[in-house]
Structure formats: C-alpha cells, structure tokens
C-alpha cells in the first residue's frame, strides 16, 4: 500500500497528538493521595515546568526530570504558646481566735479509810464552759480478814457521769503488798458545763477496811471541743 506525502504528514501529526495527549493526561490526572504506612505522602514534580503540578508517587522513584517531595498527613506539633498573665491575688482570710485553756487540780495524799473520806477530791466554783477531766485513785485493803469492794464515781455538777467498781481487793497480809491494791482511772469530757463543782467519791461495800492512799482530780477548761 502506498501512502501519499500528504497522507504521511497527516498520520504523523495524528500520532504526535495522541502522544502529547497521553502525556498531558498523565500530568493532569494524578493518583489519589494515599499515605504510606507511616502516614507520609510521596509525590513528584517537574523541575523544568514553569507551573509544576505534582503527581503522587506509587513507584520506587520519580521519572526523569522529576523531583520527589514528601509531607506528612499530620503536621508536627506547634510550639507551646506563651504563658498567660497571673491572676489577681485573693483576699486575706479573717484571723482566727486565740485558743486558751486553764487547768484546775485537787488531790488527796495519805492513807484514809474509804468509809471516812467519802469525797476523795473536788474543785469548787468552776466557771461555766467545756472541761476535760481525769481522775486517778490508788486503793488497797487494810483489812486482815475480809476482801473489799469499792466503787468510785466522777461527778460533774453533782451528777455522776462515769464510775468504776474495783475487783475484789484481797485481805491484807500486813505488808500492803500489790495483791491487795488497785488503781482507779476515770475520764470524761464535760461540754456545756454550767459551772460549779467537779468531784470524785469512793464508797465501800462490805465489812472490810478499804483505804485511799492517793487521789487526784485534774479539770482542764477548753475553749471548744471538736465532735
């Protein structure tokens, strides 16, 4: 088959248009921007093009005359912002009240029969208020034949608020040994006391001769008592 010169020119021109159209299509239809496993997007752009349009790279390297560029899907964190201005100072709280306490003491020393002593220790004319009270009494049995039973009470304003009964105090062997003695300890916190007397008493039941060796009562007046 013979092709005329005019036909050959037309054919070559058509092939060139197809070729140029293919290149244009390749440059105008880039692949979708799919990041790699590390979240990085890779692309290539023509370094000789006055208005380069990058296409996304899926192969190992860019084509000739193209330069690879990369960027992350998520950018690096920005720098911390400047510190804000300090807030205004709060107002000062009110001053608290000064706490204070006053102690009162009453004691008994010497050996005295329980049947004769009655009141071991007391403090009269206490002002109204709150009190922490502690009582300590040493007892023993001075009887050679009978055991002794003694009950001691702590009274606030004449009312018993706590008491303790001794175990059986064995009869004395004549030496006042520790087997025939016992210590009594009583404590209370009296809130809202109207004032007056705080005291401690001991009473004996039976025919023995129980005696008080020592006794003390300490009352400390408090400004307040936490519940």
Is the same domain home to 65 and 142? no
Q: What is the pLDDT of residues 69-93, one digit of tens each?
A: 888 877 778 888 898 898 899 998 8
**CA 138/CA 166 separation, integer angstroms:** 11
User: Contact, 218 vs 190, CB < 8 A?
Assistant: no
Tell me the CATH number at 133: 2.60.120.40
Range from 57-61, 95-99, 173-177 that averages highest in pLDDT: 95-99
Q: What is the pLDDT of residues 43-64, one digit of tens each?
A: 888 877 766 677 666 666 787 7
Alpha carbon distances (Å) from 130 to 124, 192, 204, 217, 224? 15, 6, 31, 16, 7
Does residue 112 belong to any structural domain of this protein? yes
Is the same domain home to 123 and 46? no
Query: Which residue range forms the structural domain that includes residue 47?
Result: 5-72
Q: How confident is the model at residue 5 (pLDDT cuts 50, 70, 90)?
A: very low
Is the same domain home to 119 and 64? no
Lowest pLDDT segment from 4-18, 47-61, 157-171, 211-225: 4-18
Does residue 172 belong to any structural domain of this protein? yes
Does residue 80 belong to any structural domain of this protein? no
- As a whole number, mean pLDDT of residues 104-119 equals 84
Does residue 95 belong to any structural domain of this protein? no
Q: How many C-beta neighbours within 10 Å does residue 55 have?
A: 19
Q: What is the pLDDT of residues 120-144, one digit of tens each?
A: 999 999 999 999 999 999 988 877 7
Q: What is the pLDDT of residue 19?
A: 38
Is the same domain home to 115 and 160? yes
Does residue 129 belong to any structural domain of this protein? yes
Q: What is the pLDDT of residue 179?
A: 46
Is the same domain home to 54 and 118? no
Above 80 in pLDDT, residue 10?
no
Tally of domains in the chain: 2
Q: What is the pLDDT of residue 123?
A: 95
Phi then psi dihedrals of residue 87, to 5 deg: -75, 165
């Amino acid at each position: 088959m013979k092709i005329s010169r005019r036909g050959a020119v037309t054919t070559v021109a058509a092939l060139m248009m197809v070729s140029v159209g293919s290149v244009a299509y390749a440059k105008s239809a880039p692949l979708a921007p799919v990041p790699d496993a590390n979240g990085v997007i890779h692309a290539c752009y023509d370094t000789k093009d006055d208005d380069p349009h990058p296409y996304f790279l899926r192969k190992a390297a860019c084509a000739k005359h193209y330069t690879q560029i990369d960027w992350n899907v998520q950018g690096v964190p920005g720098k911390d912002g400047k510190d804000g201005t300090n807030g205004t100072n709060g107002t000062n709280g009110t001053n608290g009240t000064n706490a204070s306490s006053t102690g009162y003491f009453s004691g008994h020393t010497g050996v005295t029969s329980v049947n004769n002593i009655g009141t071991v220790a007391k403090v009269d004319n206490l002002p109204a208020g709150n009190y922490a009270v502690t009582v300590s009494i040493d007892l023993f049995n001075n009887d050679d034949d009978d055991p002794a039973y003694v009950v001691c009470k702590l009274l606030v304003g004449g009312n018993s608020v706590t008491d303790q009964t001794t175990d059986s105090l064995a009869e004395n062997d004549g030496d006042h040994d520790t087997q025939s003695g016992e210590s009594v300890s009583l404590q209370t916190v009296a809130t809202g006391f109207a004032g007056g007397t705080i005291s401690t008493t001991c009473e004996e039941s039976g025919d023995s001769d129980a005696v008080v060796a020592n006794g003390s009562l300490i009352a400390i007046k408090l400004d307040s008592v936490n519940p």
